[in-house]
Amino acid sequence: RSLFLRDDEVEYAWRIVDQVVDAWSKDVQPLQSYPAGSWGPPESRVIFDKAVTRWRHSLDPV
The answer to whether residue 18 is domain-embedded is yes
In this prediction, residue 56 carries a pLDDT of 66
Name the residue with higher pLDDT: 54 or 7. 7
Q: How many domains does the chain have?
A: 1
In this prediction, residue 42 carries a pLDDT of 83
The answer to whether residue 11 is domain-embedded is yes
Give the closest residue to 39 by CA, choosing from 47, 51, 28. Answer: 47
In this prediction, residue 40 carries a pLDDT of 84
The answer to whether residue 38 is domain-embedded is yes
What's the Cα-to-Cα distance from 19 to each of 22, 26, 43, 47, rounded to whole Å? 5, 11, 26, 26
CA–CA gap between residue 23 and residue 48 (Å, rounded): 26
In this prediction, residue 8 carries a pLDDT of 95
Contacts of the segment 6-10: beta carbons below 8 A, 24+ positions apart: none
- 9-55 tens-digit pLDDT: 999 999 999 999 998 888 777 778 899 988 888 888 777 666 555 66
The answer to whether residue 20 is domain-embedded is yes
